[in-house]
Structure 1
Amino acid sequence: MIEVAVLESKANFEYLKYLSESSDKKAILEELMTAYGKDVWNYAFSMTRRWDQADDITQEVFLKVFRNLYTFRSESSVKTWILTISRNMTLDYRRSAFYRKVTLMEFITPAGEPVNKTEQAVIEKMAVNDLWKLVLKLPVKYREVLLLYAHYQLSIKEMAQILGLTEGTVKSRLYHARKKVLKLKESQSYGSD
């Protein structure tokens, strides 16, 4: 297992090295966005629950990845590295004054105003499965671990690297996230009887 991880990491490093040595900068960006764009956007959307913010964050992530290709140390996979950048950019975005202002303005908007139907359709389309609807109700720290585990199929170790937590903390959050989803599911079942 360790040999496979080392080979994969080495291949990732060689891949990024090849990309960064290419003279066609547009091709590099297109290659990275094709390979990881959907994952980055889905991650950003699941954390912000906003289509426009996921677009903005995705653009910022790939600009940062592109500018910092040479900093990749092959200690993890390219995907783990890019998702770590995605997480940090999402957290930065949520802490920014712009995000707080937009969220506050939506909070104080009168209830009679029309809802953005496109945004709502995207949210509902992404939450087709009832289980994912419940996951989206969880606090960010639990939603995040379930997303990384179930959607991206990352190992506990990779999740710990991305989140900057110990493996034990990740396991604990995953355990509590599952319990919370089951509790939400049970309360939803009782409410429909």
Structure 2
Amino acid sequence: MAHELKDVVAMSAEAFVPVMEQYGEDVWNYLYMLTRSRELADDLAQETFIRAYRHLHSYRGEAAVKTWLLRIARNRWYSYRRLAFVRRVTLTDRLPETNASDSAEEEFLRAELTSEVWRTVLELPVKYREILMLRAHYEMSMEELAEALGITVSAAKSRLQRARRKAAELWGEERSEA
């Protein structure tokens, strides 16, 4: 059952918890796909929900809650990148693996990444892998894609077509090398 953000101005932190529970995995997976860093995805997902809670009053209900949250996540990632570039800081996921049991998100992502198709998608430039992930994994409509990415519907269609073409080219190159 999708959580609607009714009476958002009066929503308490406790009332927001089910929203975080329902969409947390989607937000984290999306951010991991963008960042390729577990630690950074954790941080940005937390920032996403903090920002969403603080700006509940700005949610107009024009987009689905998930679309709204993914857009906030994307904006948090762009803000991070801008600041990281200015500071000349690059975070990587070169930290040693721990023996702790994997989280549900890590297990899910590992299963997804075992697929050759998703490995190919992750090699694409961000703007292409992002639209393919939103369309294929989150099953967003063209209108939702446009809203989440902050572009027009026609630009979303064009970008999706280019992304599919690039993925097919890359897939063909990888298959011929094998």
State the TM-score, normalized to the length of structure 1.
0.78
Are residues 1:175 and 2:161 paired?
Answer: yes
- Structure 1: where are the runs of 5+ without partners? 1-10, 107-113
Are residues 1:74 and 2:61 paired?
Answer: yes
Q: Which residue of 2 aligns with 1:39?
A: 26
Q: Which residue of 2 aligns with 1:190?
A: 176
Q: Which residue of 2 aligns with 1:116?
A: 96
State the Cα RMSD in Å: 2.3
Q: Which residue of 2 aligns with 1:135?
A: 121
* Aligned equivalents of 2:22, 2:88: Cα separation in 1: 31
Q: Kindly, what percent of the aligned residue pairs are identical?
A: 40
* Aligned equivalents of 1:44, 1:136: Cα separation in 2: 12
AA aligned to 1:49 is: R
Deviation at 1:91, TM superposition (A): 0.9
Show the 5 A alignment for 1:1-193: 15-18=4-7, 20-22=9-11, 25-97=12-84, 100-103=88-91, 116-117=96-97, 124-192=110-178
CA gap of 1:130–1:100, structure 2 versus 1, over 3 A, is farther
Deviation at 1:21, TM superposition (A): 2.8
Indicate the structure with greater helix content: 1
AA aligned to 1:180 is: K
Are the aligned partners of 1:135 and 1:143 in contact in 2 as well (CA < 8 Å)? yes
1:154-184 Cα shifts (integer Å, max 9, x gaps):
0011100111111111111111111111111
* Aligned equivalents of 1:51, 1:29: Cα separation in 2: 24
- Structure 2: where are the runs of 5+ without partners? none
**Ranges of 4+ aligned residues in structure 1 off by more than 4 Å:** 121-126
Decide which structure has the larger Cα Rg and report it. 1
Are the aligned partners of 1:135 and 1:181 in contact in 2 as well (CA < 8 Å)? yes
1:2-56 Cα shifts (integer Å, max 9, x gaps):
xxxxxxxxx96xx31246534xx34223211111101110111000000000000
Deviation at 1:102, TM superposition (A): 3.1
Helix, strand or coil for the counterpart of 1:35?
Answer: helix
1:56-105 Cα shifts (integer Å, max 9, x gaps):
000000001111111111111111111111111111112113884134xx
